[in-house]
C-alpha cells in the first residue's frame, strides 16, 4: 500500500474505518480481494510474485496493512514485505508476540510501515524506528514515510476521511481515494526520486502507463465484529478492471 487513512475509535459503533490505495507496477501480477483457500479466515488480495499481501482481515477481528518507505538508496531486501501482513492474518500469535518477532527480523526487509490490529487495539511499527507504538483513538494517515508525515496527499485524504465519518459508506471512502490531482511543486517532499516522479506520486490516486494505483479498498468494521470490504482494481492509466465486495 502507498496510502492508508483510517479512523480507530474503539467503543464506537464502527470502531475501524479504513480507506487505502495500493500503488504498484502494473506488470507485477496479483489477485484481487478474496478468501484464501488455504487460510479460509483470511480475506485479502494477493501478490502473485512473492505470495504476500498489502492489506487484509483475518480471524478474531485481525486487521493488517503495509506501506513501503520510499528510499531509492536502501539496499535490496532478502524477503518480501508482503509476508509480514500475510503471516499475521493467517496466524494466531498475539500482536505483542508477533511484533516482537517482526522487530527482530526487520533488517531482512526493505523499509516498511506495518499496521496490526484487532477488536481491542491498533499498533503501528515503522522499521526505521526502534519500537512499535500502540495507537490512541484518532484519525490517522500513513503513506511512504512515518505515521502522519504531512505529505500533501496524506493531509488531503485524511481530511476527506474526517469529512465522511458521519456516514462512512464504501462509496464515499472509494470516492476520496479517487482524487488524481497532483500537489503543487512547492509542496512536494524530497525523497530522492526527482521532481517529475515526486509530482506523479503526489496524488491520492496515481495513474500512468507503467505504475499507479492498482487497488482501492474501503473497510468498515462494526462493533459486533461484522466487517464489510469493497475493493476496486485498476490497470494502466487508471482503467477500471473490476470490483469485489464481501462481508466477513
Contact between 154 and 3 under an 8 Å Cβ cutoff? The reply is: yes
Percent of the chain with pLDDT over 90: 96
Domain ranges, residue 76: 3-247
- Give pLDDT, residue 129: 85
Which residues, other chains included, contact 167 with Cβ-Cβ below 8 Å and sequence gap of 6+? none
- Give pLDDT, residue 177: 98
Residue among 156, 197, 206 nearest 176 (CA): 156
- Give pLDDT, residue 72: 87
- pLDDT, tens digit, 9 for 90 and up, residues 117-140: 999 999 999 999 879 999 999 999
Using the predicted structure, report yes or no on whether residue 110 has a pLDDT greater than 90.
Answer: yes
Please report, for the chain, how many H helices and E strands are present, in that order.
5, 13
- pLDDT, tens digit, 9 for 90 and up, residues 60-78: 999 999 999 999 888 887 8
Residue among 116, 129, 144 nearest 60 (CA): 116
Q: What are phi and psi of 206, to 5 degrees?
A: -105, 135
Give residue 1's pLDDT band: very low, low, confident or very high (50, 70, 90): low
All three cell numbers of 132, joined, read 512499535
User: What is the count of structural domains for the chain?
Assistant: 1
- Give pLDDT, residue 203: 98
Give residue 15's pLDDT band: very low, low, confident or very high (50, 70, 90): very high
Give residue 44's pLDDT band: very low, low, confident or very high (50, 70, 90): very high
Q: Which whole number is the average pLDDT over 14-35?
A: 97
Residue recorded with cell 481530511: 159
Q: Which whole number is the average pLDDT over 149-156?
A: 98
Count Cα neighbours of 89 within 13 Å in the Cβ-side half-sphere.
29
Contact between 17 and 169 under an 8 Å Cβ cutoff? The reply is: no
Q: Which whole number is the average pLDDT over 213-224?
A: 98
Q: What are phi and psi of 22, to 5 degrees?
A: -95, 120
- Give pLDDT, residue 124: 98
Q: Which whole number is the average pLDDT over 43-47?
A: 98
**In Å, what is the CA distance from 243 to each residue of 27, 152, 216, 229, 230?**
19, 27, 9, 10, 7
Q: What is the pTM of this model?
A: 0.96
All three cell numbers of 70, joined, read 520510499
**In Å, what is the CA distance from 194 to each residue of 24, 25, 72, 188, 199?**
18, 18, 10, 10, 9
Q: What CATH code is carried by the domain that includes residue 23?
A: 3.60.60.10
Q: Judging by beta carbons within 10 Å of its beta carbon (0-12, 13-18, 19+), is residue 16 exposed, middle or buried? A: buried
Contact between 57 and 63 under an 8 Å Cβ cutoff? The reply is: yes
Amino acid at each position: 500500500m502507498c496510502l492508508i487513512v483510517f479512523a480507530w475509535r474503539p467503543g464506537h459503533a464502527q470502531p475501524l474505518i479504513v480507506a487505502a490505495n495500493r500503488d504498484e507496477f502494473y506488470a507485477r501480477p496479483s489477485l484481487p480481494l478474496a478468501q484464501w483457500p488455504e487460510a479460509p479466515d483470511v480475506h485479502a488480495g494477493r501478490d502473485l510474485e512473492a505470495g504476500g499481501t498489502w492489506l487484509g482481515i483475518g480471524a478474531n477481528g485481525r486487521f493488517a496493512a503495509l506501506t513501503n518507505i520510499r528510499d531509492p538508496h536502501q539496499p535490496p531486501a532478502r524477503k518480501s514485505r508482503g509476508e509480514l501482513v500475510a503471516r499475521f492474518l493467517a496466524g494466531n500469535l498475539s500482536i505483542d508476540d508477533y511484533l516482537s518477532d517482526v522487530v527482530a527480523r526487520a533488517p531482512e526487509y526493505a523499509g516498511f510501515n506495518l499496521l496490526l490490529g484487532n477488536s481491542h487495539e491498533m499498533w503501528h511499527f515503522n522499521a526505521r524506528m526502534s519500537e512499535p507504538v500502540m495507537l490512541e483513538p484518532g484519525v490517522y494517515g500513513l503513506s511512504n514515510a512515518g505515521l502522519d508525515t504531512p505529505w500533501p496527499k496524506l493531509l488531503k485524504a485524511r481530511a476527506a476521511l474526517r469529512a465522511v465519518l458521519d456516514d462512512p459508506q464504501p462509496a464515499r471512502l472509494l470516492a476520496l481515494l479517487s482524487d488524481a490531482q497532483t500537489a503543487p511543486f512547492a509542496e512536494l517532499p524530497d525523497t530522492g526520486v526527482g521532481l517529475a516522479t515526486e509530482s506523479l506520486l503526489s496524488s491520492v490516486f496515481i495513474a500512468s502507463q507503467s505504475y499507479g494505483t492498482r487497488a482501492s479498498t474501503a473497510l468498515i468494521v462494526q462493533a459486533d465484529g461484522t466487517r464489510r470490504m469493497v475493493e476496486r482494481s485498476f490497470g494502466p492509466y487508471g482503467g477500471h478492471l473490476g470490483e469485489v465486495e464481501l462481508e466477513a
